[in-house]
Amino acid sequence: MAAGIRTSRNGSDVAVVGGGLVGLAVALGIQEKGQQVTIYDEGDIAFRASRGNFGLVWVQGKGDSYPAYANLSRLSARLWGDMAASLEESTGIDLQLSQKGGLFVCLSESELSQRANMLDQMAANHSEGYPFEVLDHQQLKEMVPEIGPEVAGATWGPEDGHVNPLYLMRALLKRFTSLGGKLINSAAINSVQPINGQFHLHSADGRYVSDKVVLAAGLGNKKLASMVGIEAPIFPNRGQVLIAERVKHFLDYPTGHVRQTAEGTIQCGDSKEDVGFDSGTTTDVIADIARRAVTMFPLLKDVRLIRSWGALRIMTPDGHPIYQQSEEFPGAFLVTCHSGVTLAAAHAGPIADWIAEGNPDPVLNLEKFHANRFQV
């Protein structure tokens, strides 16, 4: 589709509903193709998974029973370096990406052996290889001397890493707008109406028209997707994260539960609870997170917690993303996942290409991410 086919003064080629990490990455990828994209976002207070995530670019263990998801995560992790470099160059924002490998620390022997079995299984399912190592306490201690005496060991994934997710968001937005992308963030989109091959978006502030619409509204997708003929069984899953004060650098690698950011702050997470639409924090859960962090790294005992937040993950019944074009209303796309950081490079790359140009890259195995997999 050629740029410049405006359907109305308020219109654009592609409307992206949702200005979180998912929406921004997809929007940037499409805008880079020369199509006019407008992102519609809520204001300052919204459920924001993008502001409340842990910042991991993570591969190990993801998609353990779903090779297509495992492959997508790995593909995105591989594309991440290039995306970060290009964003840094164009925006001047350092994303603090580090992909030197990551650890999943296990407190008990049984947890460690379960995890090792799972990764073994994954390696068996991936003919091209699935790199990981299992480290016992001693091996782990050689790598990370600060590890606590009660830790059984860890699994090591060389493809894992971490990034500053907030700076990622800022850089995506900056790049997007610098390419002429538009952001309208005064009100939530309440409805999408397919009319004569176009899409009419309604918010409290007005009505907007576009040729294509990408639903990347996180939890808001459930309602909107049904308006374009897609059943999206998505639900919230709360994660709570603690942020402690800046300390001098001591931790070289991110772990699944504790990481040190480039600023020196310590992040501890994460929890999974089914609590509905409540993004608050709860004392018992943050205490559990603190306990686990201190068991893993006893030296964190006297480090001060500064902030905590809860954020709502966007879950599907199998935990994997949905990427789907509406069959009933072609031009409407649903993009939803709970790993907007890891998958950002895939979203800005091949997923955006698919939306902009059709013909998905076969490597994506997109049919595996269709929501009809839940209708069995």
Partner 1 sequence: MPTDSRFNRLPVSEKGLVSICIEGQTITALEGESVAAAVLQAGVRPSRTTPVTDSGRAPFCMMGVCFDCLMEIDGKPNTQACMTEVRDGMVVNIQRGARQVLGDDL
Partner 2 sequence: MNSNQFDLAIIGAGPAGMSAASTAAKQGLKVLLLDEQPRPGGQIYRNIGSPALKDRQILGPDYYYGEKLLTAFSGAGVTYLHGATVWEVTTDNILYVSVKGESRRFEFNKLLIATGAQERPSPFPGWTLPGVMTCGAAQILLKTSGLTPPGPIVIAGSGPLLLLISCQLIRAGIKIDAILDTTPGKNYRSALPEFLGALKGWRFVLKGMRMLSEIRKAGIQQLSGVTGLSADQDESGNLSAVTYYDNKGHQQTLSCSSLLVHQGVIPNSQLTRSLGLAHVWDEVQKCWKPELNKWGQSSHPDILVAGDSAGIGGALAAELQGKLAVFEIVRQRDAGSATSGNNEIEQEKAIQELQQQLVIRPFLDRLYSPAEEFMSPPDETIVCRCEEVTAGEIRSLANDGCRGPNQTKAFCRAGMGPCQGRQCGTTVSSLLASELKASPAQVGYYNIRAPIKPLTLGELATIGNADSNC
Enumerate binding residues for partner 1 (CB under 8 A): 146, 245-248, 250, 264, 299-304
What is the smallest separation between the CB atom of 173 and partner 2, expressed in angstroms? 6
Q: Which CB atom, from 69 or from 167, has the smaller least distance to partner 1?
A: 167
What's the residue count for the chain? 376
Which residues in 178-207 contact partner 2 (CB under 8 A)? 183, 185-186
- Read out DSSP for 1-24? --TT--SSTT-EEEEEE--SHHHH
Q: Which does 376 bind (CB under 5 to 8 A by kind): partner 1, partner 2, none?
A: none
Instruction: Work out whether 275 is an interface residue with partner 2 (CB under 8 A).
Output: no
Exposure b/e, 103-125, CB count within 10 A at least 16 = b: bbbbbeeeebeebbebbeebeee
Per rule CB under 8 A, is residue 174 in the interface with partner 2?
Answer: yes
N-to-C CA span, the chain: 36
Select from partner 1, partner 2, none the partner in contact with residue 264, using the beta carbon and a kind-dependent cut-off of 5 to 8 Å. Answer: partner 1
- From the CB of 58, what's the least distance to partner 1, in Å? 24
CB of 308 to partner 2, least distance (A): 6
Ramachandran angles phi, psi of 301, nearest 5°: -55, -45
Piece of the chain touching partner 2 by CB under 8 A; list 102-110, 116-124, 155-163, 291-299: 291-299
Q: Which sign, positive or negative, has the C-alpha torsion 194, 199, 201, 202?
A: negative
The span from the CA of 44 to the CA of 135, in Å, is 43
> How far apart are the C-alpha atoms of 113 and 121, rounded to whole Å?
12
Question: Is 10 an interacting residue with respect to partner 2 (CB under 8 A)?
Answer: no
| Tokens at 167, concatenated | 């700076």
**Number of residues near partner 2 (by CB under 8 A):** 43
Min. distance of Cβ 299 from partner 1 in angstroms?
5
Please give the backbone phi and psi of residue 123, each rounded to the nearest 5 degrees, phi first: -60, -40
Q: What distance in Å separates the CA atoms of residue 79 and residue 216, rounded to the nearest whole number? A: 21
Q: Is 88 in the site for partner 2 (CB under 8 A)?
A: no
Question: Measured from the CB atom, is 274 or 302 closer to partner 1?
Answer: 302
- Backbone φ, ψ for residue 267 (5° rounding): -105, 135
Among 9, 145, 304, 328, binds partner 2 (CB under 8 A): 304
d(CA 183, CA 173): 9
Task: Please identify, using beta-carbon distances, which residue of 33 and 170 lies nearer to partner 1.
Answer: 170
Question: Measured between alpha carbons, how far is 329 from 206 in angstroms, rounded to an integer?
Answer: 22
Question: Any contact of residue 146 with partner 2 (CB under 8 A)?
Answer: no
Q: What residue ranges bind partner 2 (CB under 8 A)?
A: 43-45, 48, 51, 166-167, 169-170, 173-174, 177, 183, 185-186, 242-245, 263, 268, 280-281, 283-284, 286-288, 290-291, 293-294, 300-310
